[in-house]
Structure 1
Amino acid sequence: MAKAEATVEELVAMIERGELRLPEMQRQYVWRSTRVRDLLDSLYRGYPSGAILLWETDEPIPLQAFAVSQEASPYKSTRLLLDGQQRLTSLSAVVRGQPVTVRARKRPIEILFNLEHPDKLAVVTEVDEEADDDGDDDDRLPDEPDSSDDELQRRFDRMTFVVATRKLEQQPQWVRVSDVFKTDGDGDFLKRAGVSGFDDPRYEKYSKRLARLRSIKKYVYRMDVLERGLSYEEVTEIFVRVNSLGAKLRSSDLALAQITAKWRGSLEKFQAFQHDCTKRGFDLDLGLHLKNMVAFGTGQSRFQTVGNLSADRLQAAWKDGCRGMEFAINFARSNLGIESPALLSSPFLLVALGFFAHARKYVLDADEAARLRYWALVANAKGRYSRGSSETLLDQDLATIRDGGTVQDLIERLRQQVGRLDITPAELEGRSIRSALFKTMFLAFRKAEARDWRSNLVIALDHSGAQHRLQFHHIFPKAALKQVSIIREADDIANLAFIAGGTNRSISDKPPASYMPPLIQKSGTEAFENQAIPTDDPLLELSSYRDFLRERRIRIAAALNSFLDE
């Protein structure tokens, strides 16, 4: 294995010219913008950033596209990037000022640099500036900011790099990193920051910091280059071993490398089906589709066996798995009312649903479909595959189905895991928005035609416009609860309701005793009752907060059980 070196600038140019390509075995680009922010922060400090693994070959290798644009390669031989894709794609996007393509959608990576960062660089990476991102945390119900603008601003001021926000972009001490990389001149940045001449004490400080930022392009990566004579299968094995030892890739990413080595050209098929599911509202990770294929090919969900499957068996499993996933998505949308992965406690539920329908040759009578609906909703509410060892639990259900088990057998397995299948008020206590029950709350309230308190629009995940886009609302605002020293229980799901962004902003930090009576006087109590919210005057006082929670938990539990038993 040969050793070489290249600067960030040289590597970015290699990607742009098409000299550096991605083999089919690589996973897709998955980094969130916050990861790019932290990479830039590390390079700015001069911290180590790992090595790059390449393979130069004359063998015709199935390729996939980088998430950034490339020219056609003018060379006969192909230089393939085996390790370092996430870093180099991120750097290419920022240095060139180009968007990345993630799951067929283009999005910019916009990072800001703080000219006034503290002299002693502080490690402050816990702030997640992004309101929306394309990473693994996409599938969440709408959120609301927990920190005040002043609190966030103080935290940002201690940071060197942040993901761009409109508010920060308007402040003169924050500059776009991509803009700095595109020019060697500091004049525009200094002028915008209010530096009027050489005698300004900020002139030298800002100039040095901009030069230090540009020096990221001169950062040198060590490159390990594999021998040209290695076969694709050998390189795939090296790729799997390198990434297994470093635990840098998930098991699904390693499985993808093994699958594409046996079934050349398969990645394009996988991504095409993934895109079809996304168009129907189910933007699922490619790893979930691969796990589904393995389940249909082996009757269990673990990737360890994928290396033993022949190309023919992989192709047959993929065909069956696609049909099963199509059924699962249709059943989720039509029978469960689940129109987005955001409402699933685990996407493993789709694998089990499709596998069950496949075992029944996609013929279910009315009673069996009703029981399957009940099992799926209760399994989702109780977090069947989101507690403990999720793969073990999925394998138990796949084995039950494989051995001819009925829906009732699946229900009994669930009962063994969680005990009683109904929802109790005590079960809601201390639960947060990450609880599976929070997602079921949304499903139950939407079924009851819960509406926004001002516009009367029925709640939905896909309303357009910031005014109508769904948010969750603290019935007792956190700022108001702080006044009576209640902090820990402020995010209890019994204190949350689903309303539109405009309504949420109009209420702001008013206590319910202040904002509810005018709304009730105008439109009645139905909008609140449909979300199991007590409206009795004494319960709306700050001093009665814990009594309000107890009463609402009783009402939520009743609403959930009615929804599940329907």
Structure 2
Amino acid sequence: MNPTYDKYTVTQYSVNSILGSIESGEIAIPEIQRPFVWKGSQVRDLIDSLYNGYPTGYLIIWQNPTIRLKDGSNATGKKVLIDGQQRITAIMTAIAGQPILTEDYVQKTIRIAFNPLADNDESRFEVQTPIHFKDKKWIPDISVVFKPDFDSFSFITQYIQDNPEVNATDINKALTNLSGIKNCQIGAIMLVPELDIGEVTEIFVRINSQGKRLNQADFAMSKIAADEKYGGNMLRKAIDYFCHLAVDPAFYSVLKESDKEFMESEYAQKLSWLKDDNGDIYDPDFSDMLRVSFMHKFTRGKLGDLVSLLSGRNFLERTYEENIAQESFIKLHDGVMNFMNEYNFQQFVLAIKAAGFIAPKLLNSKMTLDFAYTLFLILQYSGEVDKIQIKRYVQKWFVLSTLTGRYVNSPESKMDQDLRRIGERGFLGFLQEAEAASLSEDYWNVGLVQNLETSSISSPYFNVFLAAQIFLKDRSLLSGNVDVEDLVSAMGDVHHIFPKQYLKDNGVTDKARYNQVANYTYLDTSINIAVGKKAPNEYFRMAKEQSEGSEGSIGTLKSAEEYTSNLEVNCIPINVIDMDAGDYEQFLATRRQLMAQKIKKYYNSL
């Protein structure tokens, strides 16, 4: 037995038969309701390849498993096109004249013009422009040739009248070749229903010449969009539209005009608030939205399981049952509605911002945000903790998982494990165990200090430090009136405490050394200019003397107490006033320890 053909079969279909199968519903194209991302020139090139008999790549079709219906009978699963949507959609718009949905969610038909007299040096196909209507040698829209009522005799007669120099035989031959596109063969790889998501993904990657990798969310969205029985297509739209509106609130006016059916659905009201929302802390894509909606309702972390459940998978019996598919669609619908709920979403974002993460640049991991929102929704609907405490616990978990990189490597497995433990122990017991395992005194005194030895400006440890300063409302270095929050939110920049040029002039030329995050701080622009290339023992002494009443222009601190307090909140050792380039490594070591202790204080304050 050949193991290859246990997993898939390879078949040749004509363009005509593929389009017929799609029209009849035998093959579903999930992406047909999503924006078409090909450029007009790509559509033209595909038609040209078909015309010349060049290969256009394989389609990949995955047949859904046979499902046991509630009455005990079986129904053969629908075939779903999981790779080739853009190619097939391009053919449908070019030769069938069907409109596509642009990236702006506006319907548009890409029309391809044809020059039947073109020689090898001329373009035979072009994206239609007004010039193709003026130049009579062009057929402005090839779709007319493929219409059932196309009369080639009348067409050729009119063409010759417009182009008297043309030979009827030549134009007839060109039209025959053009209409022959519908008989062109396209290879299709049919994957058997028994394959799991991992195998499907692996086959896809090995076949796809561009090396594109489908993810679990792609499969889940395909499964949802292909559903006609449980409202999958409308659910798919809700997810797409929410994600688009989160980034572009102005799209709401387009949506109102372009999709009346959706605007009458229950989903429209749930996401209408986004038209007035301009926040950018959490702009989910469809993968984030699916993941959170699934995780908090199913208490599972692997999106591959969602695909199986939406197919009706009975994990114990290893069968597929209609009632499981129906229940799964209902639960996912409820999860999406919870996700889109204005109160839930805004309260979650408020929790993250209130913890000090006020700007996207302070956020390192979308997966960590996804799990934090999942946790928010679990606690919101479980009743395990007082609602007034939910944001606090979400903040603590978000900071803990950011500091420990909990969802950076193999995130799905870790999320799945965490959800199961929360289900078994309850969240409070789970949190206590996680803190004991991950945030011991050794972590605060050694592990975190070591993690802060980095030159990465986007380091999660440095970002948590900045969030701590924002949460604790710290003044920026040497400033008596500008908070760290002001500089971060105003898109300010970090600057070197030991000035970069000063260090380079004194022999510290290794970029990884002078750019250590322990040498970074947010400085008000006027203070940064005043510091220039001065040694720390020079400009800190000037700032201290100025705070005690001397004339000066370094900072705006107005008392010795304010000077001491300002150094403390910025984790600057008090003896910096005596430091020069020779003390740089000692300064870094001391500041890392102070930063780690500040982060600990911050975490315990949440």
**Range into which the TM-score falls when normalised by the shorter chain:** 0.5 to 0.7
The answer as to 2:333 corresponding to 1:315 is: yes
Cα drift, residue 377 of structure 1: 2.8
Q: 2:493 is matched by which residue type in structure 1?
A: Q
Moved more, 543-552 or 372-381: 372-381
| Deviation string, structure 1 residues 219-278 (Cα, Å, up to 9, x no partner) | xxxxx98869999xx9xx9x9764685451451344333333332144442244333477
Cα distance between partner residues in 1 of 2:442 and 2:238: 40
The answer as to 2:231 corresponding to 1:261 is: no
2:501 alignment partner, SS class: helix
RMSD: 4.6
Q: 2:472 is matched by which residue type in structure 1?
A: A
Cα distance between partner residues in 2 of 1:563 and 1:27: 47
Q: Say if 1:65 and 1:504 are closer, same or farther in 2 by CA, change over 3 A.
A: farther
2:103 pairs, out of 66, 83, 103, with 66
1:264 alignment partner, SS class: helix
1:459 pairs, out of 454, 476, 484, with 484
Equivalent residue for 2:427? 406
How is 1:75-154 mapped onto 2 (pairs within 5 angstroms)? none
Say if 2:474 and 2:484, in contact at 8 Å, map to a contact too.
yes
Equivalent residue for 2:32? 23
Moved more, 344-353 or 436-445: 344-353
Say if 1:57 and 1:228, in contact at 8 Å, map to a contact too.
no
Equivalent residue for 2:473? 449
The one of the two structures with greater contact order (alpha-carbon pairs below 8 A, sep at least 6) is 1
Cα distance between partner residues in 1 of 2:304 and 2:374: 19
Equivalent residue for 2:507? 484
Cα drift, residue 515 of structure 1: 3.5
Cα distance between partner residues in 1 of 2:237 and 2:526: 42
Cα distance between partner residues in 2 of 1:361 and 1:420: 32
The answer as to 2:596 corresponding to 1:560 is: no
Moved more, 517-526 or 286-295: 517-526
Cα distance between partner residues in 2 of 1:62 and 1:418: 56
Identity, % of aligned positions: 17
Cα drift, residue 291 of structure 1: 1.2
Q: 2:410 is matched by which residue type in structure 1?
A: S
Cα drift, residue 541 of structure 1: 0.6
Cα distance between partner residues in 1 of 2:306 and 2:593: 47
Cα drift, residue 302 of structure 1: 1.6
Q: Say if 1:73 and 1:57 are closer, same or farther in 2 by CA, change over 3 A.
A: closer
1:473 alignment partner, SS class: strand
Cα distance between partner residues in 2 of 1:422 and 1:354: 26
Cα distance between partner residues in 1 of 2:358 and 2:415: 22
Cα distance between partner residues in 2 of 1:283 and 1:383: 19
Cα drift, residue 547 of structure 1: 1.2
Q: What's the TM-score, normalizing by structure 2?
A: 0.52
Cα distance between partner residues in 1 of 2:581 and 2:487: 33
Equivalent residue for 1:395? 416
Cα drift, residue 23 of structure 1: 3.0
Q: 2:108 is matched by which residue type in structure 1?
A: A
Q: 1:516 is matched by which residue type in structure 2?
A: F
Cα drift, residue 360 of structure 1: 2.0
Cα distance between partner residues in 2 of 1:62 and 1:320: 33
Q: Say if 1:243 and 1:448 are closer, same or farther in 2 by CA, change over 3 A.
A: same
Q: Say if 1:447 and 1:370 are closer, same or farther in 2 by CA, change over 3 A.
A: closer
Cα distance between partner residues in 1 of 2:406 and 2:242: 26
Say if 1:512 and 1:541, in contact at 8 Å, map to a contact too.
yes
The answer as to 2:267 corresponding to 1:303 is: no
Equivalent residue for 1:270? 239
Where structure 2 has 5 or more consecutive residues not aligned to the other structure, the ranges are 1-11, 16-29, 39-55, 58-83, 113-126, 128-182, 247-273, 311-324, 548-555, 558-562
Q: Say if 1:563 and 1:544 are closer, same or farther in 2 by CA, change over 3 A.
A: same
Cα distance between partner residues in 1 of 2:600 and 2:568: 16
Q: Say if 1:392 and 1:491 are closer, same or farther in 2 by CA, change over 3 A.
A: farther
Say if 1:325 and 1:350, in contact at 8 Å, map to a contact too.
no
Say if 1:479 and 1:509, in contact at 8 Å, map to a contact too.
yes
Q: Say if 1:368 and 1:293 are closer, same or farther in 2 by CA, change over 3 A.
A: closer
Q: Which has the larger radius of gyration?
A: 2
How is 1:160-175 mapped onto 2 (pairs within 5 angstroms)? none
The answer as to 2:338 corresponding to 1:338 is: no
Cα distance between partner residues in 1 of 2:439 and 2:383: 30
Cα distance between partner residues in 1 of 2:569 and 2:92: 64
1:497 alignment partner, SS class: strand
Say if 1:425 and 1:556, in contact at 8 Å, map to a contact too.
no
Cα distance between partner residues in 1 of 2:36 and 2:416: 25
Cα drift, residue 426 of structure 1: 5.4
Equivalent residue for 1:530? 569
Equivalent residue for 1:473? 495
Equivalent residue for 1:248? 212
Q: What's the TM-score, normalizing by structure 1?
A: 0.55
Count of residues in Structure 1 that have an aligned counterpart in Structure 2: 375
Q: Say if 1:339 and 1:75 are closer, same or farther in 2 by CA, change over 3 A.
A: same
The answer as to 2:579 corresponding to 1:540 is: yes
Equivalent residue for 2:279? 280
Q: Say if 1:380 and 1:456 are closer, same or farther in 2 by CA, change over 3 A.
A: same
Equivalent residue for 2:87? 54
Say if 1:494 and 1:553, in contact at 8 Å, map to a contact too.
yes
Q: Say if 1:268 and 1:514 are closer, same or farther in 2 by CA, change over 3 A.
A: farther
The answer as to 2:426 corresponding to 1:416 is: no
Equivalent residue for 2:400? 378
Q: Say if 1:505 and 1:249 are closer, same or farther in 2 by CA, change over 3 A.
A: farther
Say if 1:292 and 1:351, in contact at 8 Å, map to a contact too.
yes
Cα drift, residue 373 of structure 1: 4.1
2:212 alignment partner, SS class: coil
1:347 alignment partner, SS class: helix
Say if 2:31 and 2:222, in contact at 8 Å, map to a contact too.
no
Cα drift, residue 438 of structure 1: 0.9
Cα distance between partner residues in 1 of 2:212 and 2:458: 26
Where structure 1 has 5 or more consecutive residues not aligned to the other structure, the ranges are 5-20, 30-49, 77-91, 93-223
Q: 2:109 is matched by which residue type in structure 1?
A: S
Cα drift, residue 545 of structure 1: 0.4
1:424 alignment partner, SS class: helix
Q: 2:349 is matched by which residue type in structure 1?
A: I
Cα drift, residue 300 of structure 1: 1.5
